[in-house]
Amino acid sequence: MVPVNQIAKDLGLPASTAAMHIMVLEKAGLLHTEMRPASRGLQKVCARTYDELVIDLPRGEHHTRAAIELTMPIGGFSDFDVEPTCGLASADGLIGYLDDPNSFYEPERLRAQLLWFRAGFVEYRFPNRVPPGAPVLSLQLTAEVCSEAPLNHPDWPSDISVWVNGAHLGEWTAPSDFGRTRGRLTPAWWEEKDSQFGVLKRWRVTGEGTSIDGVTLSDVTIETLGLRAGEPIVVRLGVRRDAHFVGGINIFGREFGNYPEDMGLRLEYDSAGSQE
C-alpha cells in the first residue's frame, strides 16, 4: 500500500491531480484505496488489484471469434475427495466442522467463499454453452489459490493440479500459504493468523497446448479435452497425494482474499461453424 501523496510526489503532480487519476483507476477496478492511521490523523493509501494483466489478441484468419464466460461459486462443486487439514467458510462464519471431510456435504457449502484441504480434489461441472457445431478454439480457467499450511506460512510449496474432462493439464507449484497481510476482501471475523489471500492464476488450453499465466505448462491441447455440445465440462482442482510437494490448497471466492471473483471459465469459439 502506497500513500497517495507519495505517488503525487514521485510523479511530480499536484495531489489533486494524482487523486483524480487514482479515482479513475479505482473505478475501473485496477486499484483499491483505503484510509489508514498516519502520524497525524488518517491518510489515503492505494494498491493495485491485479499483479498481471494479460491481453489475448486473435491470431491468423479468425475474424469470427466469439466467447462465452461462465462463473462458478467455489462451493458449487459436484464431487470431492479431501484430506485434513480441511474446511469451508462463508462470508459469515465456518461451515460444518474444521478438519471434517463430511463438512463438504453440508448444504450450506454453496455459500462457501473459502475452502481448503491438504490433499485430494474438488470437482465442478460447467455447462457447455458453445453453439452446436462451433469449433472451440480455447478454454481458460481462472481461480484465486494458494498453498494450505497450518495457519499460514511464507515458504510452503504445493503442487496444485488442474484436470479438465479427465485430462491433467499439469502442475503449478504454489510458493506460499499467504498470511501476515490481511486479504483485501477477507471478512473481519476471520483470524489474521489464518490464510488471508491467494494469487489469481489463469490456465489456458489452445490448439497449441496448455499454459499458465502465459507460460507453457503441458502439451495438452483443446482437442484432448473432448468438449462436446450438450455435455458438461468437468473441472477438477486439487493436490495429488503422490505429488512432490503435497502442501494443500486454498481456493478463494469473491468475498475472501484479494480478488472479487468466483471461479471463471471462458470458452472461445469460431462462430462461423455454428449450426444456429
Q: How confident is the model at residue 59 (pLDDT cuts 50, 70, 90)?
A: low
Clarify whether residues 26 and 147 are in a common domain: no
Clarify whether residues 16 and 98 are in a common domain: no
Q: What is the pLDDT of residue 83?
A: 98
153-175 mean pLDDT:
97
Q: What is the pLDDT of residues 251-262, one digit of tens each?
A: 999 999 999 999
Clarify whether residues 156 and 211 are in a common domain: yes
Q: How confident is the model at residue 36 (pLDDT cuts 50, 70, 90)?
A: confident
Clarify whether residues 143 and 260 are in a common domain: yes
57 occurs within a structural domain: no
Clarify whether residues 140 and 252 are in a common domain: yes
Q: What is the pLDDT of residue 63?
A: 57
Clarify whether residues 181 and 246 are in a common domain: yes
24 occurs within a structural domain: yes
210 occurs within a structural domain: yes
35 occurs within a structural domain: yes
60 occurs within a structural domain: no
Q: How confident is the model at residue 47 (pLDDT cuts 50, 70, 90)?
A: confident
> How does DSSP assign the chain, residue by residue?
-EEHHHHHHHHT--HHHHHHHHHHHHHTTSEEEEEEE-SSSEEEEEEES-S--------TT--SEEEEEEEE-TT--SEEEEESS-EEE-SSSEES-TT-GGGGG-GGGGG-SEEEESEEEEEEEE---SPTTPPEEEEEEEEEEE---SS-BSS--EEEEEEETTEEEEEEEE--BB-SSPPSS--TTS-TTS--B-EEEEEEEETTEEEETTEEEE---GGGGT--TTS-EEEEEEE-TTSS----EEEE-TTSSS----EEEEEEEEGGG---
Tell me how many domains the chain contains.
2
Clarify whether residues 37 and 129 are in a common domain: no
Domain containing residue 36: CATH number: 1.10.10.10
Mean pLDDT over each residue of the chain, to the nearest integer:
92
Clarify whether residues 131 and 33 are in a common domain: no
Residue 244 in this model has a pLDDT that exceeds 80: yes
91 occurs within a structural domain: yes
80 occurs within a structural domain: yes
Domain containing residue 227: CATH number: 2.60.120.260
Domain hosting residue 111, numbered range: 65-273
Clarify whether residues 97 and 179 are in a common domain: yes
Clarify whether residues 112 and 7 are in a common domain: no
Clarify whether residues 75 and 15 are in a common domain: no
Clarify whether residues 101 and 33 are in a common domain: no
Q: What is the pLDDT of residues 86-100, one digit of tens each?
A: 999 999 999 999 999
